[in-house]
Structure 1
């Protein structure tokens, strides 16, 4: 028998048999890992599948109309007759309009009043109802009710309370402190302030919940250290609570400002821009230009200007926030 044909020993058979087994096991491990990676990489579309219905609705009812409004803002829109290009004529017309300047001023006043008023009231409510007891949970839920109530219902409720006669609910309330009956939304001098109060009443509970979430993230040890150092409640709020809520204030400022700039339903249902245009805001003016006067091009130009102002405000706030945190 030749050397090549000599039979293998038991140990050599074990070695020769074991190496293929080890090699096949390693191949199995690598192939298993490859299948897992392939499975993970093949599921990237699953989250988008769940988001698809909402994204389609946003695309169809929000983003496409926004693009169409930008196109219409540089056209003379004539339904069923064809649109003609007018360039910046619509922007020139609406910017030179006294009604638009007055509506812009009213919008700014309304946005500032509702923003700072709702934030201040929401912060105060958050400090009062902070805690984990069952009673506080009920109070927080009750305070949050104005946010979930439809705006149309809120506007109708306050319209009834603002009844200008002495029998009106708000006139009875101010009568308790010796003030005479007021016209509220029926008088040019008090109509805008009355709408601001309505906006604060509805926006403050939302801000309260955001503040509560921010308060939960502040280290309790800071309060304990401040108490040991003899800090009063006011000092703890100024030096511990407010610095810990800087990010929350920045977020709420943007949200509340955008909410104020886009005020429409409460103004439309309470006063419709009256009396004598004292509560006319940009949103109601755009509505009247586009749907009542059939000047869709000019109305679209106003909508684009409002969007640009909101975008600039948001970007400026974010830039200031990044500078402070840097």
Structure 2
């Protein structure tokens, strides 16, 4: 009896969290999968259409454009965030007391609300010559640039905001990875005559492989599901040049009332994200097995 009680006790503490997860996550997920198989008609009754919604999603030119924008935005944001995060981590690594303040200041974009960040950057990107960034560019003889108002520059402007927000997060994880590197490896490399660049290449980067794998996994999920900053900055415009997967789903579901097609797009996004995560996990497992 005591053994049974000891086994059930942890689950009793988990029940409230499990109930909340079921009500606000798993039940809506199941309902979304169900709706993806129907032509949702409020007050008229849903009509079974099978996989027709999925065919619509996969063959819709605007959806294909949105997927392309999503992949480009995810790749650029991931690469830029990791490079800048690595540079910040190398610069801010150490045990000096003053570094905690600098690290905290650099980390602020991560804890700030994405909607607030989007509004601030939308003001900074004001396309007129007297806009903040255009005023700075005028000092060096550049601009004015349209930023968010031109199809040629809007996606890159959104990408810059994503990099600015994601780099401090990557910095923290890379700092944790740097703290776990044996300092004797650096000393041995220095004794052998290795330069700073060689030490970074042959000591630091190989030791950070587990951290890089985690960053890629998180970045893939974050990049494919990007929504708030795009919606606040451009709403998918101009002329659909920044329309991404999530904004397209939002537009179909809440503006065009095609809830079945929007649900199908959400299910496809979930499957792609899940598959990508599994691939990265398998690759990481094989790399670790090879090292061992």
What range is the shorter-chain TM-score in?
A: over 0.9
Query: Following the alignment from structure 1 to structure 2, what is the Cα–Cα distance between the partners of residues 48 and 221?
Result: 45
Query: Following the alignment from structure 2 to structure 1, what is the Cα–Cα distance between the partners of residues 201 and 10?
Result: 43
Query: Following the alignment from structure 2 to structure 1, what is the Cα–Cα distance between the partners of residues 272 and 71?
Result: 11
**TM-score, normalised with respect to structure 2:** 0.95
Partner of 1:250: 213
1:39, distance to aligned residue in structure 2 (A): 5.1
Residues 274-323 of structure 1, C-alpha deviations (whole Å, 9 max, x = no match): 00000001101101111111100000011111111111111111111122
Partner of 1:32: none
Residues 106-147 of structure 1, C-alpha deviations (whole Å, 9 max, x = no match): 000111011111111111111111111111111111111101
1:41, distance to aligned residue in structure 2 (A): 5.9
Structure 1 unaligned runs (5+)? 1-37
Partner of 1:177: 140
> Would you say 1:224 and 2:187 are equivalent positions?
yes
Say which of 161, 182, 197 aligns to 2:160. Answer: 197
Partner of 2:38: 75
Partner of 1:307: 270
Q: Secondary structure at the match of 2:6?
A: coil
Residues 142-190 of structure 1, C-alpha deviations (whole Å, 9 max, x = no match): 1111011001100000000000011112112333333221010111100
Query: Following the alignment from structure 1 to structure 2, what is the Cα–Cα distance between the partners of residues 44 and 241?
Result: 44
Query: Following the alignment from structure 1 to structure 2, what is the Cα–Cα distance between the partners of residues 52 and 129?
Result: 42
1:80, distance to aligned residue in structure 2 (A): 2.8
Larger Cα-atom Rg: 1
Q: Aligned residue pairs: how many?
A: 289
Alignment of 1:47-58 (within 5 A): 47-58=10-21
Alignment RMSD (CA, Å)? 1.4
Structure 2 unaligned runs (5+)? none
1:40, distance to aligned residue in structure 2 (A): 6.5
Closer, same or farther: CA 293–245 of 1 in aligned 2, 3 Å: same
Q: Secondary structure at the match of 1:144?
A: helix
